[in-house]
Structure formats: C-alpha cells, structure tokens
Structure 1
Amino acid sequence: MTHELITMGRISVDIYPHDIGVGLADVTSFGKYLGGSPANVAVAAARHGRRTAVITRTGDDPFGEFLHQELLRYGVDDQWVAPVPALQTPVTFCAIQPPEDFPLYFYGRSPSAPDWEIAAGELDTDAIAAARIFWSTVTGLSRARSREAQVAAHLARPQESLDTDQHTILDLDYRPMFWDSVEQAREQVSRILPQVTVAVGNSEECAVAVGEGTPDEQADRLLEAGVKLAVVKRGAEGVMAATAEERVVSKPLPVETVNGLGAGDSFGGALVHGLLSGWPLEQVLDYANAAGALVAAEIACSEAMPTPEKVNTMLADRGRTVPQEVSA
C-alpha cells in the first residue's frame, strides 16, 4: 500500500487537565490522549480520509502499548512504530489557561527520548520515496541520530516541485528546550531546507529558520532557500502562503479558544488534505484554518481532530468557499 502521508518524529502521551483556567499544581483530574506533533498530524489527515502512517519510537511499556492502540483506532498505520527497551514512553503535561497560556511540561525526554533514537538504517526508504507527502519536524533535527535519519528520509524522496503530486513538508516546530541555542537550530534547518518542498511555521519559528522580518520577508527567504511553498502563520492576522507565482492570505476564523495546543497539528493535517486534493491555495488555507479553529475550541488534540463534514460546515457558516472533496 502506498501511503498518502508518512510523518516522522515525536510521539507521546498527552496528559491534559479537565480543570480550565488554573495552574498545573491546582488541577485535580486529567485526561490521557495520544500526542506529539507528527503523530497528531497523521491522525488529523486520517480524519480527512487519507492513508497515513507515522515513523516513530516508544518505550517498551504500557504507555507505548496505549499509543499503538490509539494510532490504530484513528486509522494510522503503526508498522514503523517500534519500542526502545532502554527508554520510557514520553509523557507531556500542560496547563490550560485560555486564551493564550498553555505551558507544556515534557517528561521522559532527558537525556534522550525514543523518537530521537530512530536510526537511518531502520528506515523503509522505498515507502518513504513512494508516499505522496512526507512530513518531518525541526524537533527531529535536534539530536544527532534522529537528524541523520531525517536527512536520509529526505534524500530518499524524489526531486519534487509543486507541479507534481508529491511534497516533502518541514514543520518549523522550534522548541527551545530541545536545543542549545537558536543558532544551532538555524544551522540544521538551513541544511535541510533545500530538500523541502513546503515549509510551515509561525513567525517566531520562521525567525529561527531564516531570521526576523515581516511574513513576506520570511516567506521570500524560505523560497530563496529552495522551498516551493512557504506557509507563515500570523496568529490573529491569519495565515499567509507564498510561491514563486502567487501570495495568498487567509483570514482567521475566530472561535472561543479552550486549548490552542492542537490547532497547528489540525491545520497541518488539513493542509495535507488540501494539497493532495489539488485545491486552489486560498481554499487550502481556509480549510486548514477552519480545521485548526475547531480543535482550538476543544480540550483534546488528537481526539478533537475534525472530519471534512465539520470543517465544511464551519466554512459554510462563516461564508467561506467549501472546496470540492475528492476521493483520490
């Protein structure tokens, strides 16, 4: 089976509070969910009917078993999810203090985490080359072993452009706690950008990749680095996407934010769906914006990933174009 999307990188168990608006010390009950950005993106795309898989590692423990169960429940192929016996499955806690305060606390990632132990020699490069979209993250570049594997995966991909039906996407998910410095991260990102078709990040993440500037300036630098499509998230101002031929801005679809942590992953899965569907760029962005907004209004991330029906209903209700769904 050829996958429409293969993601690679972080996976964890997300422990999210049921108590809203208080600090973590005051939370009295929690829910347990599949987490980790690349895993969430695979789940999100599966909700849109896409054939997805994730390349990652867990601990050889009950939390690892839970993640396998959840991937399969969501329709994500787990054949490349293997245990690392010496390490524990990471757990991520957060506090939910809307509208903008959602601090994350990572456990089980020091001195290493299972998903940083993916080795280049373990990769199914034929499957990676055949996938219509391959998705990786900047977090995966922060450790030598996983960086080597990620570079090998990118090199396995065919030479691509936006005129083909294959894309290599880099999520610019810079998290400072995983790096020694911004300069170290920028060096690694600059090395891999020439192997990337699509780069996605907010203005702060784009600043790590290509420096400070306006969204247009950051998009220009990403294009100059070899990216064919630069997607710059602008927060309350929406999302801007640029290619060599066009520049499009999608205005946000405001919702009452409950937990903003999963919105970007929902956006990513919907972006994948839109690119695979061949929609005009403005419709791709509107659809992805709506998918992100729907998850921002919920506590959970993976469990809240919307179906096309929910996204299209929001688009119609907000007066946006509902794209034509495809089965291919």
Structure 2
Amino acid sequence: MPHELLTIGRISVDIYPNDIGVDLEDVSSFGKYLGGSPSNVAVAAARHGRASAVITGTGADPFGHYLHRELGKFGVSDEYLVTDPRWPTPVTFCAIKPPDEFPLYFYRQPTAPDLQLEKQHIPTDAVRAARIFWFTVTGLCQEPSRDSHLFALDARPRDGLAEDQHTIIDLDYRPMFWPSAADAREQINRVLGRATVAIGNVEECTVAVGPGTPDELADRLLAAGVQIAVVKLGADGVLAKTATERVVSAPVPVQTLNGLGAGDSFGGAFCHGLLSGWPLGRALDFANAAGAIVASRLSCADAMPTSAEVNSLLAERGRLHGAGAS
C-alpha cells in the first residue's frame, strides 16, 4: 500500500528547557524530543491516523537509536531512515520565553546525516506512489541533499500525478543554512513549479517570490505553477488561494507556551484535510486549530494533537465544520 504521506528531510533531537522564561544559559534542566520539521509533519499526520513515513538520516549513535524508537512510538515508518556513521545525529537547543521569543540553536555543522542523503537512498517507487510527498526548502541548501531532492522530484512528475495526489513544498527558510536569501530563492525557483501546494509564512513566501501583500504573494506562487498557495499570517490567521478560490481562516487564540512546532502541526493537519477531500476552508480551520494546540504545549512531536482534540477545540470556539468527523 502506498504511504498516505511521505516526507523527506530534517530530523534531530530537540533539547528543550524545563525552565520557562529564562535565557538558555540560565536553564538548569532539559528534556529531549524528536524534532526536525519534515519528521514532525509526519508525526502530526500520523496522530490523525494517516500512514506516514520519512526519508531522512541519523548518526550511528545513541541519539540516532532514540530517533528510530521515537518514530516507531508515533507510528511513523522508519524504513527509509539511513544510518550514517560519518556524522553525529544533530541536536537543536532552544530557549522558551513566551509569548513570542523562542530562539533556536542548531548543532549541524558542517553537515548532518539528513543533508547527506544520496540518490540511492531515495525510494523512487514509494515517492511516486505516495498520496502526498512533502519536502522543504532546507533540504535544498546543501549537496548531496539538493541533488537527491531533485532526483525524488524527477520520480514524481507533476503530469503523472493522480487527481488526489499532491507534492507539497514547505517554504521552510532558515537563514542559518544559506549563504543568503538570494541563494535560497534561486533553488526554490528550480522546484516551485514542480509542487502542487506551497506553504509558508510571509517571510518565507517573500524569500521565494519577492515582497508583496499576502494576496500578491499567493498570486505569485500560483503563477509559478502551484495549485494551492497557503500564506500563514501569524496572529491574523491563514490565507489560501487557488485559481478560483480565496479563503481566509481566522486565528484560533490560545495561551502560547512554545511557538515552535505549531507550523509542523499545521502542516500535518492540512495534509489530513487534503487526504480527507475536505473543502479548503475546512482544511485550513482544522490545521489552524492543530497548530494552536501545539503552540500551547511545551514540545513539538510529543505535543501533536489527535483529531478528537482538534475538533474539541473547534467546537469550543464554535468553528466545527459539519459533524466534525475525521
């Protein structure tokens, strides 16, 4: 059976402080969690009952063993996880200073196993068959990962997709991984037209297609060839456009504890909506609520909500669509 969602790219161990509201140097204890945006998206979708897998790499070390175990715990297949003995499994530290200060410190220099994926690590049959294939801009920042992503996209030509299949580019721009925004834009332009859906916040969309209003950003993404352009507006909600539709989903306010991971929860939930065949507005509202729930919790992967939790929040806010069936 094909995977409902197959992601590719970053994985790491997130080292998050148990002490909230203090600088990292003042933290006295930490917890560890599975992290890395594409891996978190796979976990998020699995929490909604979707058959998910991730193409990625870890080191041959205890943290790598831990990530294998965590993927299994969350119901995400690790059959395409490569163990690379040359490089250690990366870790990511953050400070948690609500409501809006969550600095990240990536320990991935000079490279990480997930950026050393090569063509032979790409399961082309699985990439071609997956109902949704999800990749991120970060995976394009370094060779051989960049070439491997292009190889995967070659295995999934847009004109060969079924009507219910999607290729999603997460415009996950992290400036610390790139020489400049211009370099990132060059690589994005190589692949944007090969995706059917693009998702990013205003800054990420600006890196991809230049500055403009949210509507202008969405229009440029559509002009580049995607069928659905999703522009996340932070406290103002989410805008999505197709060739015939414009939808704005209002935010779902919560008490923010840790804003990291909310976007990944949004992504996995949005995939669930697409896989369910929902109207765009319903998929956006569901994804918005899923992201809000994670923003109200400490961790990322461990915080991903179930469909029942998302529907409960939507019902509480009077925004549950239909019977709320997942």
TM-score range (shorter-chain normalised) is over 0.9
CA distance in 2, matches of 1:186, 1:205: 10
Whether the 8 Å contact between 1:283 and 1:323 is mirrored in structure 2 is: no
Q: Could you say if the C-alpha distance between residues 124 and 163 of structure 1 is closer, same or farther in structure 2, counting changes exceeding 3 Å?
A: closer
Whether the 8 Å contact between 2:58 and 2:113 is mirrored in structure 1 is: yes
| 2:137 equivalent in structure 1 | 138
CA deviation after TM superposition for structure 1 residue 257, in Å: 0.3
1:75-103 deviation per Cα after TM superposition (whole angstroms, max 9, x unaligned): 00000001110100000000000111000
| 1:230 equivalent in structure 2 | 229
1:101-136 deviation per Cα after TM superposition (whole angstroms, max 9, x unaligned): 0000011x1111100000112211011000000000
| 1:61 equivalent in structure 2 | 61
CA deviation after TM superposition for structure 1 residue 158, in Å: 4.0
| 1:204 equivalent in structure 2 | 203
1:138-178 deviation per Cα after TM superposition (whole angstroms, max 9, x unaligned): 00000021011111111211425998110000000100000
Q: How does 1:247-262 map to 2 (within 5 A)?
A: 247-262=246-261
| 2:190 equivalent in structure 1 | 191
CA deviation after TM superposition for structure 1 residue 322, in Å: 3.2
1:190-217 deviation per Cα after TM superposition (whole angstroms, max 9, x unaligned): 1100100000000000000001110000
| 2:45 equivalent in structure 1 | 45
| 1:272 equivalent in structure 2 | 271
Q: Could you say if the C-alpha distance between residues 323 and 121 of structure 1 is closer, same or farther in structure 2, counting changes exceeding 3 Å?
A: farther
Whether the 8 Å contact between 2:10 and 2:114 is mirrored in structure 1 is: yes
Letter in 2 for 1:261: L
Whether the 8 Å contact between 1:160 and 1:166 is mirrored in structure 2 is: no
| 1:218 equivalent in structure 2 | 217
Letter in 1 for 2:9: G
Letter in 2 for 1:317: E
Whether the 8 Å contact between 1:160 and 1:167 is mirrored in structure 2 is: no
CA distance in 1, matches of 2:225, 2:281: 22
CA distance in 1, matches of 2:46, 2:58: 21
CA distance in 1, matches of 2:282, 2:154: 30
CA distance in 1, matches of 2:314, 2:155: 37
Letter in 2 for 1:272: C
1:219-264 deviation per Cα after TM superposition (whole angstroms, max 9, x unaligned): 0100000011000000111000000010100000000100000100
Equivalenced residues, count: 326
CA distance in 2, matches of 1:139, 1:257: 26
Could you list the runs of 4 or more consecutive aligned residues of structure 1 that deviate by over 4 angstroms after TM superposition?
A: 160-163, 323-327
CA distance in 2, matches of 1:161, 1:312: 34
| 1:164 equivalent in structure 2 | 163
| 2:95 equivalent in structure 1 | 95
Whether the 8 Å contact between 2:80 and 2:121 is mirrored in structure 1 is: no
Moved more, 84-93 or 113-122: 113-122
Whether the 8 Å contact between 1:68 and 1:78 is mirrored in structure 2 is: yes
SS in 1 for 2:313: helix
Q: Could you say if the C-alpha distance between residues 97 and 162 of structure 1 is closer, same or farther in structure 2, counting changes exceeding 3 Å?
A: farther
Query: What runs of 5+ residues in structure 2 fail to find an aligned partner?
Result: none
SS in 2 for 1:298: coil
Q: How does 1:293-308 map to 2 (within 5 A)?
A: 293-308=292-307
| 2:7 equivalent in structure 1 | 7
| 2:104 equivalent in structure 1 | 104
Whether the 8 Å contact between 1:162 and 1:197 is mirrored in structure 2 is: no
TM-score by length of 2: 0.98
SS in 1 for 2:22: coil
CA distance in 1, matches of 2:73, 2:102: 27
Query: What runs of 5+ residues in structure 1 fail to find an aligned partner?
Result: none
1:284-309 deviation per Cα after TM superposition (whole angstroms, max 9, x unaligned): 00000000000000001100100000
TM-score by length of 1: 0.97
CA distance in 2, matches of 1:275, 1:160: 19
CA distance in 1, matches of 2:286, 2:160: 22
Whether the 8 Å contact between 1:277 and 1:325 is mirrored in structure 2 is: no
% of aligned pairs identical? Answer: 65
CA distance in 1, matches of 2:280, 2:325: 16
SS in 2 for 1:260: coil
Moved more, 318-327 or 52-61: 318-327
Q: Could you say if the C-alpha distance between residues 298 and 160 of structure 1 is closer, same or farther in structure 2, counting changes exceeding 3 Å?
A: farther
Whether the 8 Å contact between 1:16 and 1:30 is mirrored in structure 2 is: yes
